[in-house]
């Protein structure tokens, strides 16, 4: 049995179904990761489930006026949260028969709804809400109570801030709440020790405490102090025949809750350390999570685990270990191997071997719903398990919802690392082919007054082959559009005729075959346009592709006289850095820049065309004598040193770069920027 669908109306960020702002979230049976920017609605999803199902740790929480959705100046009067459960076993169907729903001959399912209304009307108490729980479609079934209510409780792991404090002893400590809710502690609440039989060792916590109290009272020092207080002081302070007496005890009542509140949990010291030591925040959080997970599967309830931001204080490797554990718990249970009966010959003998013992039954699959802001956790999970929540809308990335095909999912499973997974938390995304664009585009955006960090834009460098595999994450099979703009920046990759002297020619055609075309002057204008159209053929919804007009970003920037010296200096510096293998000194940088400017002057004097000069400038990059990433670093420095105005940049940059930056930020108002 698992939670398959959650609908939320008028709860916090989610509005009404009529206004199209409610939430309709489909969940998988195993692992579900809710990812997205801050204030998108992830915590609201977790809290809605907690309010509806309640938790195994008996957390106290109630709805207040602030939980009701606000649209404009109006706060909603009513709220509804509905969960549908599928995959019920035969025993579960029998146990909850009166609550089940059967629609159009489908398998029986269980629908549970929370209905709430604000009590700020006549006779009501402002700020409070009346809450009802009912089963059935449209909440028209019987009230949810008794065994069903207890069965539906989920295990909740809250965001961790002070794990050490949560596990220390004290009134209503978190540790005492967890242990009190654990079913194994129920029998510890009774005493199995009696003063009439003091030699019998107790086995329950309450019994142990009563025995300890008896032993403390019997201590000679305690008895002496007790006698002195009564005989030397209280007797003299008594009035009339009412003699005051006192008794020393451990506690007023040795009940289980008070005992549990005296317990604390801490990690043991490292091996070889004899005295207790304080451990780091991250390891204490791991201990706290392990403690909370005690309640998962500790009863016969539904194995549903809610986790909020478990990455707090955990380094990446520990986050990966956490995800591996959750994936193992959420995976379908393995089928037991077949039992071999009977007369199989034992190896090396004639006697039949004994039958194999039956395998233990597989553990029940746990459904996990987890919110995170960690690219490390998001990259570790399969993309199909993610749900992108942005602007109070939920978009499942399951195969039935996106335009990713099976090969795309396999590719992303292999290559989606933490540096790329930041795209799940951005307001907009720029997908680029290499490290050069990854470095230079943010620099250009900042110089244009459209800083990517200010606008929440993530730049993802994926390599040419994966460019569109990543962008298709944001394209849907349904009519819903993800409100995250995605700009793919691509090179047209058709070398100009001026690069013939160093770009290898196409292989000679076989007899009877037409000669292969490679250079721009060999194609018609329509054929060249077709190259760009081919790169844009999968555009749609929030995805747009911006293609260089000629060859590559660096080459096309070198075509313009405003950027030509900057690009040439950057490539020269990158080439010199690769040759030297060490950071360049200020003197060397000045010498290389001067030599680059002298080259340009000589080429101009020789009446070379802009296309010829751009081809010469780009040659070291093509021949791999210079690194594109280092070139981009030096080019960013040159842009900052040159201090070109946004007006010059916007007017002289290749227009596809300006349009890509505008698409993921905002239209560039040159006058305002200047």
Instruction: Please report the DSSP string for 85-120 in residue order.
Output: EE---HHHHHHTGGGEE--TTPPPEEEEEEEEEE--
DSSP secondary structure string, 187-198? GGGS----TTST
SS3 150: helix
CA–CA distance, 56 with 305 (Å, rounded to integer): 10
> Using CA atoms, how far apart are residues 27 and 40, in angstroms rounded to an integer?
18
DSSP 3-state percent helix, strand, coil across the chain (nearest 5):
40, 15, 45
CA distance 131 to 117: 7
Take residue 628 and report the two structure tokens written for it.
Answer: 């594109």
Separation between Cα atoms, residue 149 and residue 427, nearest integer Å: 40
- Residues 528, 520 contacting (CB under 8 angstroms): yes
392, 348 contact by CB (below 8 A): no
CA atoms of 598 and 606, how far apart (whole Å): 12
The answer to whether residues 35 and 388 touch, using CB atoms and an 8 Å cutoff, is yes
For residue 339, give the DSSP letter.
P
At 656, list the tokens: 């596809």
Report the pLDDT value the prediction gives residue 671, as an integer from 0 to 100. 53
The DSSP H or E segment spanning 128 is none
Sites in the chain below the pLDDT cut of 70: 121-127, 161-163, 251-254, 272, 274-277, 297-300, 334-364, 464-465, 669-674
In this predicted model, what pLDDT tens digit does every residue of 8-28 receive, in sequence order? 999 999 999 999 999 999 999
At residue 360, the pLDDT reads: 38
**Residue 178 main-chain phi, psi, to 5 deg:** -65, -50
pLDDT at residue 178, rounded to an integer: 78
């Amino acid at each position: 049995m698992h939670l398959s669908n959650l609908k939320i109306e008028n709860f916090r960020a989610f509005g009404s179904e009529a206004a199209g702002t409610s939430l309709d979230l489909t969940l998988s049976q195993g692992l579900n990761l809710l990812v997205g920017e801050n204030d998108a609605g992830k915590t609201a999803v977790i809290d809605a489930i907690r309010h509806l199902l309640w938790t195994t740790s008996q957390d106290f929480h109630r709805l207040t006026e602030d939980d009701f959705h606000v649209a404009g100046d109006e706060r909603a009067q009513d709220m509804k949260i509905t969960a549908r459960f599928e995959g019920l076993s035969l025993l579960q169907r029998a146990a909850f028969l009166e609550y089940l729903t059967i629609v159009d001959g489908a398998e029986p399912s269980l629908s549970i709804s929370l209905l709430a209304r604000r009590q700020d009307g006549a006779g009501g108490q402002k700020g409070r809400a009346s809450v009802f729980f009912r089963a059935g479609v449209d909440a028209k079934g019987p009230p949810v109570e008794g065994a069903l209510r207890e069965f539906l409780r989920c295990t909740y792991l809250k965001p961790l801030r002070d794990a050490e404090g949560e596990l220390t002893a004290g009134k209503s400590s978190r540790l005492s709440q967890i242990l009190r809710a654990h079913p194994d502690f129920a029998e510890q609440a009774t005493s199995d020790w009696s003063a009439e039989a003091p030699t019998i060792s107790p086995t329950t916590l309450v019994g142990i405490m009563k025995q300890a109290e008896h032993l403390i009272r019997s201590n000679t020092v305690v008895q002496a102090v007790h006698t002195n207080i009564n005989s030397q002081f209280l007797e003299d302070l008594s009035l009339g025949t009412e003699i005051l007496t006192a008794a020393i005890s451990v506690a007023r009542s040795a009940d289980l809750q008070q005992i549990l509140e005296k317990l604390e949990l801490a990690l043991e010291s490292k091996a070889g350390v004899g005295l207790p030591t304080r451990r780091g925040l991250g390891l204490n959080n791991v201990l706290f999570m392990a403690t909370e997970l005690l309640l998962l599967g500790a009863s016969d309830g539904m194995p549903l685990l809610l986790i909020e931001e478990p990455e707090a204080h955990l380094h990446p490797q520990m986050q990966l270990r956490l995800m591996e554990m959750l994936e193992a718990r959420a995976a379908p249970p393995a089928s037991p191997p077949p039992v071999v009966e009977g007369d199989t010959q034992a190896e090396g003998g004639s006697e039949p071997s004994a039958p194999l013992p039956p395998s233990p039954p597989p553990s029940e699959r746990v459904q996990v719903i987890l919110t995170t802001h960690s690219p490390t956790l998001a990259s570790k999970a399969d993309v199909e398990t993610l749900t992108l929540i942005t602007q109070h809308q939920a978009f499942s990335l399951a195969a039935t919802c996106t335009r990713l095909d099976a090969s795309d999912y396999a590719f992303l499973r292999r290559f989606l690392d933490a540096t790329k997974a930041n795209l799940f938390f951005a307001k907009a995304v720029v997908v680029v082919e290499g490290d050069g664009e990854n470095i230079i585009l943010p620099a250009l955006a900042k110089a244009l007054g459209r800083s990517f960090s200010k606008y929440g834009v993530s730049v993802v460098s994926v390599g040419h082959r994966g460019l569109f595999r990543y962008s298709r994450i944001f394209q849907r099979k349904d009519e819903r559009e993800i409100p995250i703009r995605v700009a793919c920046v691509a090179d047209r990759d058709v070398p100009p005729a001026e690069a013939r002297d160093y770009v290898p020619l196409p292989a000679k055609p076989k007899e009877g075959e037409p000669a292969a075309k490679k250079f721009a002057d060999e194609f018609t204008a329509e054929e060249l346009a077709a190259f760009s159209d081919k790169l844009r053929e999968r555009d749609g919804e929030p995805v747009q592709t911006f293609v260089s007009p000629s060859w590559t970003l660096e080459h096309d920037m070198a075509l313009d006289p405003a950027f030509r010296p900057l690009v040439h200096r950057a490539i020269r510096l990158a080439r010199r850095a690769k040759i030297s293998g060490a950071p360049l000194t200020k003197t060397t940088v000045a010498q290389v820049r001067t030599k680059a400017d002298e080259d340009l002057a000589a080429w101009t004097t020789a009446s070379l065309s802009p296309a010829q000069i751009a081809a010469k400038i780009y040659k070291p990059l093509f021949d791999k004598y210079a690194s594109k990433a280092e070139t981009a670093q030096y080019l960013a420095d040159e842009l900052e040193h040159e201090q070109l105005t946004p007006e010059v940049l916007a007017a002289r940059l290749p227009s596809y770069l300006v349009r890509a930056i505008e698409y993921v930020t905002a239209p560039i108002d040159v006058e305002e920027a200047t």
